[in-house]
Structure 1
Amino acid sequence: MDIEIQKMCSPIRVVVADDHPVIIMGIRKILEIEADMDVVATACSLDDLDEILISHQIDVLICDYTFESDVGRDGTRLIGRIRRNYPDIRILVLSVHDELIVVRRLIAAGVGGFLSKASSALSALAGAVRKIHQGEAYIDPVIATALSIEYLRLLTKRGNPRATELSKREYEVVRLLSLGMTVGVIACHTGRSVKTISAQKVSAMRKLAARNEAELVVRFRELEM
C-alpha cells in the first residue's frame, strides 16, 4: 500500500522527443510549472531517445511523429517499436502531421493520445499528459471532430447498423469512458464488477469496430453528434 501511495504522490516522469529544439523548449516551459510533472530528459534525435528509454524510468513520452534522422520516415513504425519494447510507457504524439489517416494509424499502433502542433489545443498539453498517464485516451478535439465526421459519413454510406446495437449498459460504460473514467472507477460507480465492465467495453468495441479505447471514445462521440 505504501508503494502505491508513493506512486500516486510521485510526479509524472515525462520525456520529450522532437528534432526541433525550439519545440522542446516550448514544451518544457508549459510543463515545468506543473507541480505534478517532471521533465526528466529530452531527445533531439532517435539515438538520444533510444539511450533515454534505456536509462530512465518514464511514465509519459511526448514524441513527434517523424525525425529527420529516421531513414524510413515512418512514425508508425517508430511508435510500434517503442510500444513493443516499453509497453508501460504511455505515448502522446505531438506533430504537424495531423492528417486523419496518420492519426488513425497512430491510434491503431497504441498511442495514448494525439495533439496537433498547429492546434490551439496545445494549451491542453498538461491535461492530456495527466489523462494518458491515468490510462485514458486523449485526442485533439479538432482531430476528434474530423474523425467523427469522417466515420459518420462512412456509416451513412455503408448503412452500417452497428451504431444502434449498443445495449443500455454498454452505452453507459462507453459514455463514462468518454468522460475520462477508468474501468475500475466505472465498476465502483455502477456497482458492477471490473470483469463485467471490461466485458461490456469489449463488446461495445466489437460493435463499433473500435480497435482500442481511443477509437471507442471517438466512435461514441460520433454517435452523440
Structure 2
Amino acid sequence: MSPRPIRVLMVDDHAMFRAGVRALLESEPDVEIVGETGDGADAHRLAVSLRPDVVLMDLRLGGPGGIDGVEATRRVLAGAPGTAVVVLTSYSTQADVARAMTAGARGYVLKAGEPDELFHAVRTAAAGGVGLGSEVAAAVVSQLTAPEPVLSGREIEVIRLVAQGLSNRAIASSLFLTEATVKTHLVRMYRKLGADNRAAAVSEAVRRGLVDP
C-alpha cells in the first residue's frame, strides 16, 4: 500500500502563477493539491476545513481582506494545528524571512529558485523539518554569522518617526532636516536592516528592539 500523498493548499493572488505551480507539483507522485486561493482570510478558512499537510503561502496577497502572507500564516497555524506553512515568494530580504519564520513558517523558497528546492521544502515541512531554498539558507547563515548592523542615533530617531506613520516631509520638519537628508538616512537604514521598504524596515527595527511594537 502506497503512503498517503502530501496534501497541499496553495495561496497566491496570481492565478496564472498558481496554475504553473499546480502543474509542477502535480507531476510529483507524492503530492496532491487540495485547494487554492488568492486571499489571506480565505486561506485560513480553507486550511481549517481541508486540513492540508502543507500550505504554500505568498507574502504579498491582494485579497479583499487586506491580510498579508505573514498574518495569514499566523491564522492558518492557529486554526489548523499540524499544518505546516512553506513561504513561496519573490521577496528575500532578511526582514521578510525573519517575519515569516517568526510567524511559524517551516519553509521559505523563492519563486525564482529551482523546482527541486520547492519539492524539498514541501516534503521537509510535511515531515516536521524546516526547508529553505539555497539562496534563503545562505542569507540566514550570513545574518547569523555577520555582526549586527547598528543604526546611528539619528537613524533611530528617523525609523521611530517612520513607525509613527510620518511622511518624509513631516520627519524632516520634526528633526530640522532636509527631505533629501531624510531620504539618505532611509536608504542607509534599509541596507543595514536588510529591508526594501518602509514597512519591512519598521518590522525589522521592532524585532531588534529599536522601535516599540
Please name the residue that 2:74 is paired with: 80
How many angstroms apart in 2 are the aligned matches of 1:135 and 1:46? 23
What's the CA shift for 1:80?
1.4
Please name the residue that 1:107 is paired with: 101
Please name the residue that 1:30 is paired with: 24
**After the TM superposition, which residues 195-206 of structure 1 pair with which residues of structure 2 at under 5 Å, given as runs?**
none
Give the aligned CA root-mean-square deviation in angstroms. 2.3
Larger radius of gyration: 2
Please name the residue that 2:122 is paired with: 129
Q: Which runs of 5+ in 1 are unaligned?
A: 1-5, 158-225
What's the CA shift for 1:147?
2.0
Q: Which stretch shifts more, 132-141 or 62-71?
A: 62-71
How many angstroms apart in 1 are the aligned matches of 2:9 and 2:115? 17
Q: Which runs of 5+ in 2 are unaligned?
A: 151-213
Query: Residue 42 of structure 1: SS of its match in structure 2?
Result: strand
> Normalized against structure 2, the TM-score is what?
0.63
Contact 2:44 2:72 in 1 (8 A): no
How many angstroms apart in 1 are the aligned matches of 2:55 and 2:86? 6
Q: Which stretch shifts more, 107-116 or 71-80?
A: 71-80
How many angstroms apart in 2 are the aligned matches of 1:102 and 1:156? 17
Read off the aligned partner of 2:17 and give its amino acid letter: I
> Normalized against structure 1, the TM-score is what?
0.60
Q: Deviation string for 1:96-129 (max 9, x for gaps)?
A: 12111110121111111000113x3343212221
How many angstroms apart in 1 are the aligned matches of 2:26 and 2:65? 32
**After the TM superposition, which residues 124-163 of structure 1 pair with which residues of structure 2 at under 5 Å, given as runs?**
124-154=117-147
Q: Which has the higher helix share?
A: 1
Read off the aligned partner of 2:14 and give its amino acid letter: H
How many angstroms apart in 1 are the aligned matches of 2:66 and 2:15? 22
Total equivalences in the alignment: 150
How many angstroms apart in 1 are the aligned matches of 2:88 and 2:44? 18
How many angstroms apart in 2 are the aligned matches of 1:74 and 1:37? 26
Query: Residue 9 of structure 1: SS of its match in structure 2?
Result: coil
Please name the residue that 1:223 is paired with: none
What's the CA shift for 1:73?
5.3
Please name the residue that 1:56 is paired with: 50
Between the aligned residues of both structures, percent identity stands at: 27
Query: Residue 123 of structure 1: SS of its match in structure 2?
Result: helix
Read off the aligned partner of 1:145 and give its amino acid letter: A
Q: 1:9 aligns with which of 3, 10, 20?
A: 3
